[in-house]
Chains A and B, each alone.
Chain A
Amino acid sequence: MSLDDRIPNNVDLSSDRRLQKALEQWQPKFQEWWMDMGPEGFQAKDVYLRTATSVERDGWATFDYVKMPDYRWGIFLTPEEPGRPVGFGDMIDQPSFEEVPGEFRNSLRRLIVTQGDTEPASVEQQRLLGQTCPSLYDLRNLFQVNVEEGRHLWAMVYLLHRYFGRDGREEGDELLARRSGNADKPRILEAFNQPINDWLSFFCFTMLVDRDGKYQLAALAESGFSPLRRTTQFMLTEEAHHLFVGETGLGRVIRRSAQLRRESDGQEAKVGGIPLETIQRYITHWYSYALDLFGSEISSNAADFFSSGLKGRYHEASKYSEHSAKDQFQEIPIIENGRVTMKQVPLRNAMNEVLREEYIRDTERAVRNWNKIIKEENVNFEILLPHRRFHRHQGEYAGHGFTFDGSPLPDAASYQAELAKTLPTARDREIVQSVMTPVTKPGQMAHWIAPPTKGINDQALDFEYVRLN
């Protein structure tokens, strides 16, 4: 099998000897990592997966049965109009960087490593979920997300190998050496060290944490470093499915819980459902960790990334008319002597917050849809998002106690009491665990989740998405 067949790509791998050499050494390590840390118990099964084999309209989603270890992880960059200049920052309108500019080498490598580290981390977090899948449809979606996170790792490793020399190769190896939740070698970002032991957490994760990924990728898809821009653009096409899995997954759980609540007169836990209050607390937990991922509200790194033209705003090119973000300010509430006060922050230093706001708006939209579902089921309940200051471990609000609604709390005791009310309790986890029993008959759904509205790639709902026998 030729290299191009083994590794589908549009980066002329067969004539790039340096890249070949790097990938030849890295690929076996990746395979080994996948066997060790990939989905437990399903590596030999046929899964109905889509594989990207080219960037053309008919090539990026080729569906067929594949055993996951045989998945053809490829390297794809979205083609774009030649001569597109740097779109923002101090070097606006200058030619895009086709190679890494020496002065940004460290910043770029850090951006890529931080993004890359999240991809294998989520596979590790989710590796035991297959054993409690609510349906073959969901099992297949889990695996689709997993193999594509693997491909996103490839995409980042491609950049490291192709553009960062020996350092890049070492970072590529490190990406396979860190382990989610491992005390000695944790993943870089905290949300990626949180365990995902149940499907409610999985849906929260793909809805809320992967959505951070979408905004990070979108900001990098504006980059003046052309290979990064084109790589992340292609990743975004795949990421959309992950968000779909999360948003519709939570929607289906919410719908089923609302139905069971109505039918059981508010006793949905007793009839095998997950209480809406429990779902609310899971969302609160994951949402607050996802907000942390955007970084500090006031950040010199964010300003550097923007002024260097490395990381823009969401839809920088199409949404904004002014791309220097110079001499502009953003009001950011900060904590001074226990009080919330407004501070004028140079816009460039507030870029993390600008991106976080896009994310919050998008998440609020999804929440409105879920509340519509609850209303359709004639149940009186409303899912709410906590205030952005609540339960934060990063940035201006970390280390301060706030209520769910964002009001400052006077002391640690009242904050602890607020957390006890609003974050998942031991009882919540117990309820969720109790309904996590595998359902593997084609077309069947676990009792606690509603069926999806349609199948994958126009297949029927009772299609055998994973062949277990």
Chain B
Amino acid sequence: MAESETLSQAPTFTDFETHPTRYRHWSLQVDGEVARLSLSVQQEEGLSDSYLLKQNSYDLGVDIELADAIQRIRFEHPAVRVLVLTSAVARIFCAGANIYMLGKSTHAFKVNFCKFTNETRLGLEDLSAHSGVRTIAALNGTAAGGGYELALACDEIYLVEDGNSAVSFPEVPLLAVLPGTGGLTRLVDKRKVRRDRADIFCTIAEGIKGKRAKDWNLVDDIWSKSTFPAKVEARIAAVLGASEKNPSTGGVALTPLSPKLSESAIEYRFVTLRLDHDHRSAELVVQAPPLSEPVDGAGMRALGASLWALQAFRELDDALLHLRLDYPGINVVALRTTGDAASVLRVDQALLKHAGDRFVKEVTAHMARVLRRLDLTAKSLFALVEPGSAFAGSLYELALASDRIYMLADQKGASRITLSGMNGGALPSSNGQTRLAVRFHGEPKRPAELLQAARPEGFAAEAAEEAGLVTMALDDLDYEDETRIAIEERASLSPDALTGMEASLRFPGAESMATKIFGRLSAWQNWIFQRPNAVGPTGALTNYGQPTRPVFDYRRT
């Protein structure tokens, strides 16, 4: 498909910020300890006019609302212990990602759309794992494709038994692509559906309903249409009765980020993204917290969304999403930090000290999610450690997430790398390990030794290089040229090969469900998305909804 006739190639700027009062497709109702998210997609209100969002199908705009809602439940409604996802449209829960939208999108957009929706679903699981919110998918109609994948990201799935409603993965038989939002992985890894049954399920376009859906563990239970609402309520009550209460106070409103936009930069309060379109590179600068940043529990809560650890990482998150969706031409990102390293260490210490505080816990869990978003960003990441930078503790994680770390060995020894307790497990990577452990995969004892030996003054260049905390330390005669050439060289290499290379090298060691989703499912999906059998002139995705049937090239690789 020619990129010129496609969506999202225009100089659009995606708005990732929204608010429940502005939702078009989801409605969020919070009643004490129970939150309900109900889907009613407005078919004419997609991000583009070129498709209609029929049958509760979604595009990026719909999923941005979902991601926002999940985030707000965590910060604004700490008392919530149960989240129910359901549909406000008769007979259909959700038909998944809109096929016409996918058919008209560029390859890059499809990949980033899937990545975002995957991160949103992992966010649902993170909500359950870290915030004590049990998630229930109340399928009051058919859940097809991405609709069922959304359900699979919940702890419990209940399906109405009305003789019609089914769960299904029609992607392979109907569209010649994969259920790309973690569905295949969660089917066998999370719900432990036997693989031969999963094989059958994934090739029946209309899916499986009723008793067999339950027998195969595709859903937890099936309830008749007339008893369904009452059964859902009963299940909510049972969950509430069986789990401990969350603190009912201390909600913090997430305020708009309102960045300043220009052709060459996005400027937030703590984060700045500078774009050099000609050199296909960008600079992402994160400022350390001010010295006045409160470190006591009450002071931190009082600051709410303006707390540095929350605001700076929300800004970073937003900047990463813009980098992915709106700047496909940017290939290399130089990561910089500025400000006072000691101030970062103070904040880190406070985050660890008040880890039991619900708000602080959410702030830390959010930092971890943003850093995982960074791990999964398909841009070359080079961290630049210089005098005046603040690669300490949680901000050093930015460097640890990078593909290379360059450090300027200045004569005064002002460039420093500092470790803190936050490098020891509070901010795990997608595979569940710390980035230090990932870095020293060949030396399993090293992270603990380094953390034990950590000093507030940190490591100067030579020591940092010696300890393996940077890729190379360069003196001021070489540093400028070396880093400039490294970035230029990087930007000249094939972006496809780099994406594959980086994704392979960033995650040594054990796999988790998340790394399988991004490393196996997504990679295959992205391959299939490029293949003629899906997107060629006779491919199934191209011909979906057309009067012509797909014609496949039946040779297997």
| Inter-chain contacts of B226 with A (CB < 8 A) | 183-184
CB distance from A282 to the nearest CB of B (A): 25
Q: Is the CB of B549 within 8 A of A106?
A: no
CB distance from A337 to the nearest CB of B (A): 8
A-B contact count (CB 8 A): 55
| A144 located at the interface, meaning its Cβ lies under 8 Å from any Cβ of chain B in the complex | no
Interface string of A196-236 (1 = CB under 8 A from B): 00000000000000000000000000000000000000000
Q: Is the CB of A307 within 8 A of B162?
A: no
| Inter-chain contacts of B490 with A (CB < 8 A) | none
Interface string of A276-310 (1 = CB under 8 A from B): 00000000000000000000000010011011100
| Inter-chain contacts of B204 with A (CB < 8 A) | 106
Contact status of A186 and B163, CB under 8 A, knowing A106-B173, A106-B204, A106-B206:
yes
Closest residue of chain B to A304 (Cβ to Cβ) is B549
| A325 located at the interface, meaning its Cβ lies under 8 Å from any Cβ of chain B in the complex | yes
B224, B544, B547: the one within 8 Å of A346 (CB): B547
Contact status of A184 and B205, CB under 8 A, knowing A300-B544, A307-B547:
no
Closest residue of chain B to A299 (Cβ to Cβ) is B545
| Inter-chain contacts of A348 with B (CB < 8 A) | 547-548
CB distance from B196 to the nearest CB of A (A): 15
| B72 located at the interface, meaning its Cβ lies under 8 Å from any Cβ of chain A in the complex | no
Q: Is the CB of A303 within 8 A of B162?
A: no
| A326 located at the interface, meaning its Cβ lies under 8 Å from any Cβ of chain B in the complex | yes
| B50 located at the interface, meaning its Cβ lies under 8 Å from any Cβ of chain A in the complex | no
Q: Is the CB of A300 within 8 A of B545?
A: yes
| Inter-chain contacts of B227 with A (CB < 8 A) | 184
| A177 located at the interface, meaning its Cβ lies under 8 Å from any Cβ of chain B in the complex | yes
CB distance from B142 to the nearest CB of A (A): 12
| A185 located at the interface, meaning its Cβ lies under 8 Å from any Cβ of chain B in the complex | yes
Q: Is the CB of B162 within 8 A of A184?
A: yes
| Inter-chain contacts of B544 with A (CB < 8 A) | 300
Measured in the bound complex, the distance between the Cα atoms of B225 and A118 in whole Å is: 21
| B164 located at the interface, meaning its Cβ lies under 8 Å from any Cβ of chain A in the complex | yes
| A316 located at the interface, meaning its Cβ lies under 8 Å from any Cβ of chain B in the complex | no
Q: Tell which of A300, A326, A347 has the most Cβ of chain B within 10 Å.
A: A300
Q: Is the CB of A349 within 8 A of B547?
A: yes
| B397 located at the interface, meaning its Cβ lies under 8 Å from any Cβ of chain A in the complex | no
Interface string of B239-264 (1 = CB under 8 A from A): 00000000000000000000000000
| Inter-chain contacts of A300 with B (CB < 8 A) | 544-546
| Inter-chain contacts of A188 with B (CB < 8 A) | 163-164
| Inter-chain contacts of B549 with A (CB < 8 A) | 90, 304, 307-308
Chain B interface SS verdict (over half): loop
Q: Is the CB of B225 within 8 A of A183?
A: yes
| A64 located at the interface, meaning its Cβ lies under 8 Å from any Cβ of chain B in the complex | no
| Inter-chain contacts of B205 with A (CB < 8 A) | 106
| B161 located at the interface, meaning its Cβ lies under 8 Å from any Cβ of chain A in the complex | yes
Measured in the bound complex, the distance between the Cα atoms of B544 and A186 in whole Å is: 30
CB distance from B211 to the nearest CB of A (A): 10
| Inter-chain contacts of A349 with B (CB < 8 A) | 545-547
Query: Could you tell me how many residues of chain B have their Cβ less than 8 Å away from some Cβ of chain A?
Result: 18
B161, B206, B224, B547: the one within 8 Å of A347 (CB): B547
Interface string of A74-99 (1 = CB under 8 A from B): 00000000000000001000000000
Interface string of B532-555 (1 = CB under 8 A from A): 000000000000111111000000
Q: Is the CB of B164 within 8 A of A184?
A: no
Q: Number of contact residues on A: which range applies? A: 20 to 34
Q: Is the CB of A184 within 8 A of B206?
A: no
CB distance from B168 to the nearest CB of A (A): 11
| A174 located at the interface, meaning its Cβ lies under 8 Å from any Cβ of chain B in the complex | yes
Interface string of B186-229 (1 = CB under 8 A from A): 00000000000000000011100000000000000000111100
| A375 located at the interface, meaning its Cβ lies under 8 Å from any Cβ of chain B in the complex | no
| A178 located at the interface, meaning its Cβ lies under 8 Å from any Cβ of chain B in the complex | yes
Contact status of A307 and B206, CB under 8 A, knowing A184-B161, A184-B162:
no
Closest residue of chain A to B228 (Cβ to Cβ) is A184
CB distance from B344 to the nearest CB of A (A): 53
Q: Is the CB of A178 within 8 A of B163?
A: yes
| A110 located at the interface, meaning its Cβ lies under 8 Å from any Cβ of chain B in the complex | yes
Q: Tell which of B161, B163, B224, B547 has the most Cβ of chain A within 10 Å.
A: B547
Measured in the bound complex, the distance between the Cα atoms of B47 and A313 in whole Å is: 37
| Inter-chain contacts of B546 with A (CB < 8 A) | 300, 303, 346, 349
Q: Is the CB of B162 within 8 A of A186?
A: yes
CB distance from A170 to the nearest CB of B (A): 9
B225, B545, B548: the one within 8 Å of A184 (CB): B225
CB distance from B140 to the nearest CB of A (A): 12
| Inter-chain contacts of B224 with A (CB < 8 A) | 184-185
Q: Tell which of B161, B225, B227 has the most Cβ of chain A within 10 Å.
A: B225
Measured in the bound complex, the distance between the Cα atoms of B81 and A292 in whole Å is: 43
| Inter-chain contacts of A110 with B (CB < 8 A) | 206
Interface hits, A291-345 → B, CB 8 Å: 300, 303-304, 306-308, 325-326
B173, B225, B547: the one within 8 Å of A303 (CB): B547
List, sorted by A's number, 26 A–B pairs whose CB atoms are closer than 8 Å.
Answer: A106-B205, A110-B206, A174-B163, A178-B163, A183-B225, A184-B161, A184-B226, A184-B227, A185-B162, A185-B163, A186-B162, A186-B163, A186-B225, A188-B163, A188-B164, A300-B544, A303-B547, A307-B548, A308-B549, A325-B547, A326-B547, A326-B548, A346-B546, A346-B547, A348-B548, A349-B545
The 7 A-B residue pairs whose C-beta atoms are closest, nearest first, are: A348-B547, A346-B547, A300-B545, A184-B224, A184-B225, A185-B163, A303-B547
Known: A184-B162, A184-B163, A185-B224. 4 other contacts (CB 8 A): A184-B224, A184-B227, A186-B162, A303-B548
